[in-house]
Amino acid sequence: MLPNIANFADVDYRELPRAMQRLMARGPTSEAATLPRRSFLKMAGAGGFALGAFPHLAMAQADGAAQASGALKPTQQPSAFVQIAPNGEVTVTINRLEFGQGVQTGLPMILAEELDADWALVRSRNGSSDAAYVDPLFGIHLTGGSNSIKNSFTQYRELGARARAMLLSAAAARWKVDAATLRTQAGTVLGPGGRKLGYGELAEAAMALPVPEKVTLKNPKDFRLIGRPTTRLDARAKSSGRQDFGIDVRHPGQLTAVVAHPPVFGARLASVDDSAARAVKGVKAVLRVPLDRGAEGVAVVADGYWPAKLGRDALKLQWDTAAVEKVDTEKQLAQYRELAGRPGPRKFDADMTPLATAPRQLEAEFVFPYLAHAPMEPENCTVKLSNGRAELWVGTQCAGLDAAAAARALGLEPEQVIVHVQMAGGGFGRRFVGTSDFVVEACEIAKAARAAGLSAPVRLLWSREDDIKGGYYRPMHLHRARIGFDERGKVLAWDHVIVGQSITTGTVFGQFQVKDGIDATATEGMRDPYPVPMRLAVHHPQVNVPVLWWRSVGSTHTAFVMETLIDEIARSTKQDPVAYRMQLFGDKHPRHRAALQLAVDKSGYGKKQLPDGRAWGVAVHESFESVVAYVVEASVKDGQPVLHRVTGGVHCNLAVNPRSVEAQVQGAAVMGLSMCLSGGAITLKDGVVQQGNFGDFTVARITNVPEFDVHIVPSADAPTGMGEPGLPPLAPAFANAIARLTGKPLRQLPFNLA
């Protein structure tokens, strides 16, 4: 990936190939050169006092001026989250990673609602590994599980309400009136006799006041920001190419490192000839470094990405792979099939006696491949070591976990490491790894570089190929089902087996996700909301392929299995698939019913005539406490499935920003579509991943993207997760439409119509 070149004056030409360096040296030739860089809000000291000038004031205020507030935690202190400049600008610090899901707008909307801020003056910024920015429910730094808005909804409301109360108290003291006689509106405190004071005028005085422990929150009927479709705060910067990401971090004298990773996971070096690499102009050091999960690699450190890459290309390496398993996808599938025939730990254990005598029977096997996360911004981390301390700049989903891992790698105490969270260009789970793989890698390189006499900050940068060939993956899974049902579609017995690696064993979540040998993430989405008697066994083989959560986690495969099998039962008993699902929901799943009905009504399902060669497909699934239903229109053209239109019904309770919800559903659905397309799989041969870039790992292109209509079920209940739930039902809805056209159910992803 090339650096951000919205402003040519900011480009380090050494980052570019030689030919492009010469081209760029000719000077700017487009209006892009005149675009101003994003102006960053200055903190107190440079721009005057502001509420929340420094994150560590959360701790100081908790110990000092806020003693009257009782036992408020750092996560409850406005000083860590709200900065109000003298001109009235309100900057809200987010306690999550923004990597496309919209929290850098959604969280400020929530806080600004209770603060009564002028939205036109609201800005946002990233947090750090400071204790104030942990997830208030889990107590760790966490962006994942679609929890950002859900877990911080009340937190940010209370932060805004506390800051507002402090501003009211400051105004009351200045005017010598009762604070109860004052009100706020759009960043202004209004008092008797037409008095007005802007928040910027009151920030310094308000900052010195005790933080109230208890505050009264608005009635949802009085919301003026929450629930209103709102343009994202980062939209202009991103659409104009001026947004900085982790990959764009620059420090004086900064060096760039790339790493030669082993071709087989866990392999070590047998021999290294780095003479040609050291001869490349710009290369400063070639370092042998430990890597993730016991592997070894060679880091080439240079004064830019291009010389570092050329240096890596010049390395002559011999790898020792004798001690590591060399996975082969075809052999692995055969092993999974053999495992599926063995007894295993059971998640559900219904009586399977009726299976033998059921009037109708259905047997099915499903195969799901490894999947790469493939975010547009590859992994990167910049490390600066100085005076027994370390600073890291990285787009991370778990700043605290990475800070602790960095401290261990560098031989420092946790308090000697700070992580500055950067905007990330996607992630889908890849930026939250239990081993902190690329973060530790960056620290090992920085440590080795310093030992080699290089004291400059070091930026580790992976290429796309590094990520796709040597990253972490959504596990490969095999499902096998035997179902007995009657002529009306009533399921009498459902015998099911899942085979696939555990993604939480050995991680911070394993202690409460793995029970009786079963990883709960592998089975989420099975059975419910359908009241079927199921026996579910699970096998978790150990395989030398690193695996990780992938957007919507277990629901990436369980939703496909459940929704295609439910549809197949409906088809085989000649029932409408919508009516059949509604019957199974009964009165126990009103949110599923509402989401599906909304999608049906808005799509015209059952009412409008589809063009010849098209068919309807339906699926509905709950994940992360939100329900998404799709009604799709699809066809088959030249032997390939084509998705024409998607109508979504979404039940996520209160939609803080409906525009972000719509964007998340669309983005997740497109990612779900990628799972269906030929080439959308990671395969291995002799332990080596066979895919390396978008030329051989398919993602949906603009020509594959259908028309979208997304509709949200109205609700005033507290928000549920929305970053991931739009993905799981897309593939089964698409598959169900194709099955109606071909008469053949689809049993694997990507689709195989042969």
**Residue range(s) in the chain whose domain bears CATH number 3.30.365.10:** 57-236, 247-323+379-461, 341-370+473-742
Q: Tell me how far apart the alpha carbons of residues 643 and 634 are, in angstroms, rounded to a whole number.
A: 4
Q: What pLDDT, in 10s, does the model give residues 163-185?
A: 999 999 999 999 999 999 999 99
Per-residue model confidence (pLDDT) at position 70: 55
Question: Three-state DSSP class for 231?
Answer: coil
Q: What does the block give as tokens for 237?
A: 């910067």
Q: Is the dihedral of CA 400, 405, 409, 412 positive or negative?
A: positive
Tokens of 119: 């939205």
Distance CA 469, CA 450 (A): 29
Phi, psi angles (nearest 5°) of residue 432: -135, 95
Looking at residue 608, its pLDDT comes to 95
Which of these, 439, 476, 433, 459, lies nearest to 328 by C-alpha position? 476
For residue 534, give the H/E element and its range.
strand 534-539
Closest CA to 364 of 482, 493, 537, 533: 482
Structure pTM? 0.91
Q: How confident is the prediction for the chain on average, in pLDDT?
A: 92
For each successive 10 residues of the chain (754 residues), what is the average pLDDT? 36 48 43 29 31 38 43 95 98 98 98 98 98 96 96 98 98 97 98 96 96 96 97 96 97 98 98 98 98 97 98 98 97 98 97 98 98 97 97 98 98 97 97 96 98 97 96 97 98 98 91 95 97 98 98 98 98 98 97 98 96 98 98 96 98 98 98 97 98 96 97 97 98 98 97 92
* CATH number for the domain formed by residue range(s) 247-323+379-461: 3.30.365.10
Residue 543 and residue 320: Cα distance in Å, rounded? Answer: 19
Phi, psi torsion values for 96, nearest 5 degrees: -135, 170
What does the pLDDT read at residue 507?
A: 85
- Contact between residue 22 and residue 315 where contact means Cβ atoms under 8 Å apart: no
**Which pLDDT value is given to residue 11?**
44
Q: Nearest-CA neighbor of 36 among 13, 15, 10?
A: 10
- Going from the C-alpha of 481 to that of each of 38, 367, 672, the distances in angstroms are 55, 12, 23
CATH architecture for segment(s) 57-236: 2-Layer Sandwich (3.30)
| Inter-CA distances, 483 with 306, 323, 479, 496, Å | 57, 43, 13, 8
Q: Residue 508's pLDDT is what? A: 80
Assigned architecture for domain 341-370+473-742 = 2-Layer Sandwich (3.30)
pLDDT value of position 233: 97
Question: How far apart (Å, rounded) are the C-alpha atoms in residues 25 and 4?
Answer: 16
168/162 Cα distance (integer angstroms)? 10
Say what the pLDDT of residue 199 is.
98
Report the C-alpha gap between 299 and 294 in whole angstroms: 16
In whole angstroms, how far apart are CA 431 and each of 339, 422, 622, 624, 646?
Answer: 32, 12, 24, 19, 29
Pair 673, 704: CB distance under 8 Å: yes
**Rounded CA separation 131/64 (Å):** 17
